[in-house]
Amino acid sequence: MAEFFEMPQASPTMEVGTVLAWKKAEGDTLSPQDVLAEVETDKAAMEIEVFDSGVLLKILANEGDQVPAGQPIAILGSSVDEDISDLLAEFERIKSSGGSKPAAEPEPSAAPAPAASPPAPVAAAPTTTGLTPFSWAGKTVDDSIMEMPTFTVALPTASPGAAPLPAGKVRSSPAARAAARAQRIEIGTVIGTGPRGRVTRADVMRHAAGVPAMVAAAPAPAPAPRAIPLPTPEPGDEVIPNTNMRSTIAKRLKAAYSDAPVFFLTTEFKCDAMVEFRTDLKANGTKVSYNDIVIAACGRALRDVPEVNAAWAEDSIIQRAAVDIGMAVALPGGLITPVIRGADTKALDAIASDTRSLATKAKDGKLSPTEYTGSTFTISNLGMKGINQFTAIINPPEACILAVGGMAQVPVVVDGSLSVGWRMKVTLTCDHRVVDGALGADFLAAVRRYIEQPDLLS
């Protein structure tokens, strides 16, 4: 049976994907794990696979098109001669309604009847598979469409003449709909906490377990007109369209800069012992960079001062059990933060191996979502670019980010005598809701201990 193939939501922050290339043509036969297309998400380029055998009947999105997550990009079927006219008509309705299935027209009704208690919901008849069809608010829902139909909800009004409330709609991810079917839950009863109120799989499982959802506050009123107008291109200017990655960076960092009350702590480390330590490792054939040593030092320091390995959650502070450090990697279109898992327990040579592998994947655009999401602390190192000191913006929802400057030989005074020593400045950006000044200083003292006594990392 022919069905839509949707743009997948490859990461929690992805709202739109760009079709980079189709790897199959219309009419091609598909086998499980065949690569159907290459898609650019908000983080990286990734290959999209199919999970069942079939045929690519119709391509609905051209290369270069930006498509919202959950909107159809192709039609797959079991044979080349399947009739897909209904699906094509449905796709046109989806496009004309801005990506969601239009609401059904209300049927004419007779004169209002006397008020009566609402009838008990009637269960839908089982299908030939024995499963109850997926529905919401009494309407059958096509579970291949991300955006749910719009229905007018009759709620009690303040007076008989009051106007009905505006129609609402339920947005949900494919994983959420599958979980709802498995749990036999009407997805319309689940409170969504995803982007724009989207119901996620976690929301469904939370609902099934009876755990209340933490719902974000109502959106603030529309902002006042900009005091500073946006720039307009002049003759000769080059206009470079924003990529998905650049747009996501702008949204997340603007939110972090606006929402988190931050302060900065700067200190200088003595690095003579670290230079000697790395020289010995190199002589023994172990390839370790100074950045690897900083990551290892921060991992141990987060284990020693776990209060920094945390995040703000409005009604609580979540102290993370795992120490997963993100390292900022510069890309032509922005940056990405691959994650070193278990950095507090991992050996230094294992950290070095991970950083090389992840940095290569990042620059090739081949990172999987699990490799760049879920960090609990981030390090941004610009020392190799000749930057002595800088401040960094927190990577939400983390509480801190460490900005690492370049290491250089400078004049120092030791025991009253002038000499030369290796020094490196770092600046810790702290979310004051989670980390106070004394706690941030304790963390930097722990990092200092491992940098200035690197044998402790062995």
Are residues 339 and 325 in contact, defined by beta-carbon separation less than 8 angstroms? yes
Query: Is a pLDDT exceeding 50 seen at residue 145?
Result: no
Quick one: pLDDT band at residue 156, thresholds 50, 70, 90? Answer: very low
Alpha-carbon separation of residue 255 from 52, 218, 264 (angstroms): 40, 16, 18
- Lowest pLDDT segment from 86-95, 99-108, 173-182: 99-108
Query: Is a pLDDT exceeding 60 seen at residue 450?
Result: yes
CATH assignment of 170-212?
4.10.320.10
CB-based burial, 36-65: b 16+ in 10 Å, e otherwise: bbbbbbbbbbbebebeeebbbbbbbbeeee
Out of 204-208, 223-227, 409-413, give the one with best mean pLDDT. 409-413
Query: Is a pLDDT exceeding 70 seen at residue 118?
Result: no
pTM: 0.56
- What does the alpha-carbon distance between residue 138 and residue 124 come to, in Å, rounded to a whole number? 9
Q: Which of 432, 433, 448, 449 is labelled catalytic?
A: 432
Which of 274 and 363 is assigned the larger pLDDT? 274
Query: Is a pLDDT exceeding 50 seen at residue 101?
Result: no
Quick one: pLDDT band at residue 105, thresholds 50, 70, 90? Answer: very low
Domain segments of the chain as ranges:
3-96, 170-212, 260-457
Class of domain 3-96: mainly beta
Query: Is a pLDDT exceeding 60 seen at residue 69?
Result: yes
Each residue of 122-136: pLDDT tens digit? 444 444 444 445 455
Mean pLDDT for 356-375 is 90
Each residue of 26-65: pLDDT tens digit? 888 888 888 888 887 766 777 888 888 888 888 988 888 8
Query: Is a pLDDT exceeding 70 seen at residue 166?
Result: no
Q: Closest Cα partner for 363 from 323, 401, 404, 327?
A: 327
Output the six-digit token pair for 440. Answer: 């941030």
Are residues 201 and 191 in contact, defined by beta-carbon separation less than 8 angstroms? no
Class of domain 260-457: alpha beta
- Partnered with residue 278 across adjacent β-strands are none
Each residue of 309-343: pLDDT tens digit? 999 988 899 999 999 999 999 887 778 899 999 99
SS (H, E, C) the chain: CCEEEECCCCCCCCCEEEEEEECCCCCCEECCCCEEEEEECCCCEEEEECCCCEEEEEECCCCCCEEECCCEEEEEECCCCCCCHHHHHHHHHHHHCCCECCCCCCCCCCCCCCCCCCCCCCCCCCCCCCCCCCEECCEECCCCCCEEEEECCCCCCCCCCCCCCCCEEEEECHHHHHHHHHHCCCHHHCCCCCHHHCECHHHHHHHHCCCCCCCCCCCCCCCCCCCCCCCCCCCCCCCCCCCHHHHHHHHHHHHHHHHCCEEEEEEEEECHHHHHHHHHHHHCCCCCCHHHHHHHHHHHHHHHCHHHCEEECCCCEEECCCCCEEECEEECCEEECCEECCCCCCCHHHHHHHHHHHHHHHHHCCCCHHHHCCCCEEEEECHHHCCCCCCCCCCCCECEEEEEEEEEEEEEEECCEEEEEEEEEEEEEEECCCCCHHHHHHHHHHHHHHHHCHHHHC
Q: Does residue 207 have an active-site annotation?
A: no
